[in-house]
Amino acid sequence: MLTHVRDFLEAHTGRPLRSNRFLLGVSGGMDSMVLLDICRRLELNCSVATVNYHFRPEADRETELVVNSAADAGFTCYQLHPDKASSSGNLQQQAR
């Protein structure tokens, strides 16, 4: 799996992986946590970004997981906590 990811990234960036810098969008879900772990194993130069809208009870726990996992991997983690007042209504419509 690691070889496939490394080959894919090198083919699509056109440069050796060590000369790239990646920003990972990590939600705390299984897919993005696996992506974070793969990048850690490949020793990529990464930073992590996560957004917590505080819409679900487990959101704070997921953000903590992302922050801790990023720190464990040696990645800088950027957090965004949008103001709930500005996040009311249909979130998908606002994103458009």
d(CA 19, CA 58): 36
What length does the chain have?
Answer: 96
pTM comes to: 0.83
Give start and end residues of each alpha helix (H) in the chain. 2-13, 30-41, 59-73, 91-95
Digits of tens for pLDDT over the chain (96 positions)?
Answer: 899 999 999 999 988 888 899 999 999 999 999 999 999 999 999 999 999 999 899 999 999 999 999 999 999 999 999 986 565 566 666 554
Backbone angles phi, psi at 30, to 5 degrees: -55, -50
